[in-house]
Structure 1
């Protein structure tokens, strides 16, 4: 009952994730990213412990595939898990546990991977990847949101969504973008609206943290 995508922008060095589901609080449980390192998605009877563990593996020098293999080996409950990873070179990996409920699927593209479970159909991740790759010069956050909408347009869960999240990291230890929507009738559209409001301020918020003398706002 979740579909999501990890993506990398070689132009900016950003890593990002976008995800949505029919349950509450997806932004706190599914996407995990680290600047310059990569990211992990953990979903389907979600174990949020696997996100930081996966980032530590990537940080240690593991490729996405090596990190995924180690994550699977580290948990006896892997049959219930669905995961994806992207490493610093943009390589991707995924895992589907044997006890996952259908429809579940994955799709990989250049610098991105999409996964989903308990979806209306198995075409959703491929639609997400195609949308993400369609405008490579657009801001990473915009491409992630386009992928999320494409997944919903392709069938999504086949039931009403209530939460969505957008997470992007760039250079700092804190996120460049971290926007979440919960208990909303149209979470993807609401999230896209939040990004439109946030986009002109994103660089300023970073400046306020790292070079406050140069910042413009209060």
Structure 2
């Protein structure tokens, strides 16, 4: 009752998994990944040990296919399992046990493994693979596009409930102190993939890096807009303010909203911060 895609980006060395299921909190079961090692999706009557055990095998130098072969060789319940693996060299493998409920199956391609069970049809898996191969953007964006395409092609025939994305990258986590680059879950929602995509772009807003083309000078119309919305949101008591007060309250707004990653030098503002400010309700 799940469909997923594990992927690898050879340029950034990112590895990750995106998944959707008619199963609450699917993100706590299916996706596993380790930077510099590989990414694993374990599902159907999931065997959670496929995650840590599989990553250990990959870390020892086994390929994606060798890892799947090793995992199922010692699993008496392998006929009920489904798994997809991508290793750090971009090799991919997928496995579907013969007792998984129809439609069940998977496919591999360049740097990805897509699989699903209890699907409307195999078109879900095909759509995920085709979309991943043809999409641009970061690994997370490509995985989410693939997941969304899989849902549009039919998805889980039992319905929708939860979705998750987990992407790892060397020192890609908060303040560079860990490798959890993107770790987001929607545990129970009527449209979990769309909600996951919304949360992902919110995550990028907070933790993304300011693009050079989005740096605005705080003057003219931009300055007037900042004042208008800082006043509307209660950060300014009046609209006629000196620059020092303006910058102090702009800094207060940025820190209140946790936009420290997008805080710029005095006299500059990130377009993304201004857009958020303009859209924020009181």
Task: Give the TM-score of the pair, scaled to structure 1.
Answer: 0.90
> Gaps spanning 5+ residues in structure 2: where?
172-177, 210-258, 264-282
- In the other structure, the counterpart of 2:198 is 193
Q: In the aligned structure 2, how far is the partner of 1:40 from the partner of 1:195?
A: 20
**How far apart are 1:49 and its partner, in Å?**
1.3
1:58–1:67 CA contact under 8 A, matched in 2: yes
- In the other structure, the counterpart of 1:184 is 189
- Root-mean-square deviation (CA, aligned residues, Å) is 1.6
After superposition, the C-alpha distances for 1:13-47 in whole angstroms (9 at most, x for unaligned) are: 10111000011011010010000111111100111
1:176–1:202 CA contact under 8 A, matched in 2: no
**How far apart are 1:158 and its partner, in Å?**
2.6
**How far apart are 1:203 and its partner, in Å?**
5.3
Q: In the aligned structure 2, how far is the partner of 1:159 from the partner of 1:216?
A: 42
Give the aligned length.
Answer: 207
Matches within 5 A, 1:109-128: 109-128=109-128
Matches within 5 A, 1:134-153: 134-136=134-136, 138-153=137-152
1:181–1:190 CA contact under 8 A, matched in 2: yes
**How far apart are 1:134 and its partner, in Å?**
1.5
After superposition, the C-alpha distances for 1:148-170 in whole angstroms (9 at most, x for unaligned) are: 11000111013321100011001
Higher relative contact order at CA 8 Å, sep ≥6: structure 1 or structure 2?
1
- In the other structure, the counterpart of 2:41 is 41
- In the other structure, the counterpart of 1:79 is 79
2:118–2:158 CA contact under 8 A, matched in 1: no
Q: In the aligned structure 2, how far is the partner of 1:203 from the partner of 1:188?
A: 21
Q: In the aligned structure 2, how far is the partner of 1:159 from the partner of 1:68?
A: 27
2:94–2:107 CA contact under 8 A, matched in 1: no
**How far apart are 1:74 and its partner, in Å?**
2.1
Q: In the aligned structure 1, how far is the partner of 2:158 from the partner of 2:49?
A: 27
Larger Cα-atom Rg: 2
> Gaps spanning 5+ residues in structure 1: where?
205-214
Runs of 4+ in 1 over 6 A off after TM superposition: none
Mark the CA change 1:202 to 1:71 in structure 2 (over 3 Å): closer, same or farther: farther
Q: In the aligned structure 2, how far is the partner of 1:199 from the partner of 1:133?
A: 23
Q: In the aligned structure 1, how far is the partner of 2:82 from the partner of 2:107?
A: 13
Task: Give the TM-score of the pair, scaled to structure 2.
Answer: 0.70
